[in-house]
Structure 1
């Protein structure tokens, strides 16, 4: 019996608020969970700075990764096994890719990536392929197995069915994070009938499809996703936390590049200040515990901007936000007024934009995602928006929103009454 199929003498289980239990029966999966690279995910929040607006959103990438693994395990063991187009020899590949798909996330994830131009998917692949504990475990299956797992995560593997289980418009990743994020933020938007969707999933040669009778459950899932994005992920206070952290890291990077002498040298951040080509070892040393330590230390720095921004983030003294139409003239006008007032607009005036596409379908020549397909009782495959009025109404429609962020109390304390009045007048027009 090959290592990849070796069962443990006793099943391991994790209690889980979303799936009740996460079941681990394979030695391969258990050994991956115990690696230091996977354990690091306990120290990376799933939702970054969202805990500043949803106080219970403290769950981790570790929790989510186990959840994605559990959904894929159920797909295979409860639904796919024995069906046409599914070959159980691909079970280890699918389970490992599901478990490790977020392995390369950095502290505060997407905010960190924007400042330091890193790519968590690239680092996920490098961790899997590099001299790591994860790589050593995967290599016991075969010398080529780490490359296979990395290729699934990179969406370049020849097995499109396995890729679609983990990365598509209705995949294990999304089904877990919608429910998990809803649970930990305390909202009801992420609720949908995952049990029905799972029961009606069917493997085909290149993708997972849904039986036609499951269309309404998929409608519910897509609407849940839409609500979660606009009510939770894009919540203006949630975005405000990310905006502030972005400016803290931006300031620290600029100071390092100009030779500023930090009281506490941020040695684990220095590789990121120097280059976006950071080694895997240096990348793995940085987690949110380390970054939060630096944020605390920076409050006492001599640089007033770094000190103030760090204090604001640590103590949740966020910038005020206002709706905005994206008018370039308004941006230029406020930038000039902030500069005249002695307030650096690079750090204290932020225009934030975000958008989401609830559902997309294949459109040649356009960056689109593979559509969700239904399978009829006669075996015909139909794209879901052609069958659902609800989904058709949201298909291909991208919603975009803008907000501006600024420190209200700083504006009110501007000594020059003319400049202060001019800024307030422009801001009042936006409200």
Structure 2
């Protein structure tokens, strides 16, 4: 028996609050879970700063990755012996599902923006570099790590395999919607996944849904829409992300200016230089970052110290609706007034924008084009979802954007009551003159 086909003597299970049990029988999968690179995902939260808004949102990318693997495992059980499905791709799908988030860093997207990183590049580097994960995958067959990397990078030759991991209805989304809903305590992200899995069918280039499962898919699309606006784009979470980003920017700026830190930020040095090695990248998880934030609360620099204290102790910025495209004059005036009040606007005044496109049909040639969800008709024909669903048609191709202006209300409250600068700032922020 080859390593590819080797099974564990006894099936291993992970108790899971979303899927009840996650089943592992393949030796390859069990070995991958045990690698240091995969275990690191226990120390990276799935929802970043969301735990400061929804206190239960402490779950990790480790648990999410296991969940995506389990959904793919169940899909492939249903695909067994069906037309258009090549059973030789089974292990490849399972590995890609398990490892799809391998390159995420601490606090993910906020961290990436500051240091000009891309977690997808690091996922590729882990899969193809000198790592435990690569050594496990290489035992399957020469070139197998590259196959897994290509599936995750959406460049693999079999588009059906890619669509299972990354599409508008894929295992990744089906897990994170349910998992994030469970741990945030909301009901928006729940949908009938069992029904969707039963009506999924493999086609030559993508997974499709039997027409009889259309209403379950409608529910899934609306769940995604609601989760984005109620959870992922929650303004309080975004306030925490603004402060997190400002901390990292400030620390980087101080380093570049030759500031002498009380505690030398050894784990950040290569990031400040924007040239972290793979080993340095893997060594920086959220536990390490939070340690530095607590230490930086004691720094002499008042901005870094204050921002870290705000983040650690959840003393967040307040926010108002503010569209920078329509309110540029007010923005410039606020910026000048903050400087006048000795409140550094570069670190204490920020416009944050969020946007989402819940579902889209195929628009050939457009940037970021999406493969639509197709419904399989009884006669074998395919029809795009929004052509049959009035619910989905109503939101198809419609991008929603939200803008918020974040600022430290407590700093404004501390200004003297007779301050003209304070009166003008509050007048702009709240649309009325301070009496």
Q: TM-score range by the shorter chain?
A: over 0.9
Give distance in 2, aligned partners of 1:173 and 1:4: 24
Give distance in 2, aligned partners of 1:165 and 1:52: 32
Please name the residue that 1:322 is paired with.
Answer: 320
Give distance in 1, aligned partners of 2:226 and 2:432: 25
What aligned pairs does 1:375-390 form with structure 2 within 5 A after superposition? 375-390=376-391
Please name the residue that 2:400 is paired with.
Answer: 399
Give distance in 1, aligned partners of 2:377 and 2:242: 46
Gaps of 5+ in 1: none
Please name the residue that 2:15 is paired with.
Answer: 15
Please name the residue that 1:74 is paired with.
Answer: 74
Runs of 4+ more than 4 Å apart? none
Give distance in 2, aligned partners of 1:158 and 1:189: 36
Give distance in 2, aligned partners of 1:216 and 1:324: 37
Q: CA deviation at 1:266?
A: 1.1
Please name the residue that 1:426 is paired with.
Answer: 428
Q: CA deviation at 1:366?
A: 1.5
Normalised by the size of structure 1, how large is the TM-score? 0.98
Match of 2:176, SS state, is helix
Contact 1:358 1:395 in 2 (8 A): yes
Give distance in 2, aligned partners of 1:375 and 1:33: 36
Please name the residue that 1:236 is paired with.
Answer: 235
Give distance in 1, aligned partners of 2:266 and 2:333: 39
Please name the residue that 1:260 is paired with.
Answer: 259
Contact 1:298 1:310 in 2 (8 A): yes
Contact 1:324 1:430 in 2 (8 A): no
Contact 1:354 1:401 in 2 (8 A): yes
Match of 1:110, SS state, is helix
Q: Any idea what the Cα deviations from partners look like across 1:8-43, whole Å, max 9, x if unmatched?
A: 110000000000000000000000000000000000
Please name the residue that 1:52 is paired with.
Answer: 52
Please name the residue that 1:331 is paired with.
Answer: 331
Residue 359 of structure 1 pairs with residue 345 of structure 2: no
Residue 289 of structure 1 pairs with residue 287 of structure 2: yes
Q: CA deviation at 1:297?
A: 0.1
Give distance in 2, aligned partners of 1:32 and 1:283: 19
Residue 371 of structure 1 pairs with residue 372 of structure 2: yes
Q: Any idea what the Cα deviations from partners look like across 1:308-337, whole Å, max 9, x if unmatched?
A: 000000000000111112221121111111
Q: CA deviation at 1:414?
A: 2.5
Please name the residue that 1:306 is paired with.
Answer: 304
Match of 2:266, SS state, is coil
Contact 1:323 1:430 in 2 (8 A): no
Q: CA deviation at 1:99?
A: 0.1
Q: Any idea what the Cα deviations from partners look like across 1:234-269, whole Å, max 9, x if unmatched?
A: 111111111110111110010011111111111111
Q: Any idea what the Cα deviations from partners look like across 1:396-422, whole Å, max 9, x if unmatched?
A: 000000001100010122247011110
Contact 2:37 2:282 in 1 (8 A): yes
Q: CA deviation at 1:300?
A: 0.2
Contact 2:160 2:204 in 1 (8 A): yes
Please name the residue that 1:417 is paired with.
Answer: 419
Count of residues in correspondence between the two structures: 429
Q: CA deviation at 1:83?
A: 0.2
Normalised by the size of structure 2, how large is the TM-score? 0.97
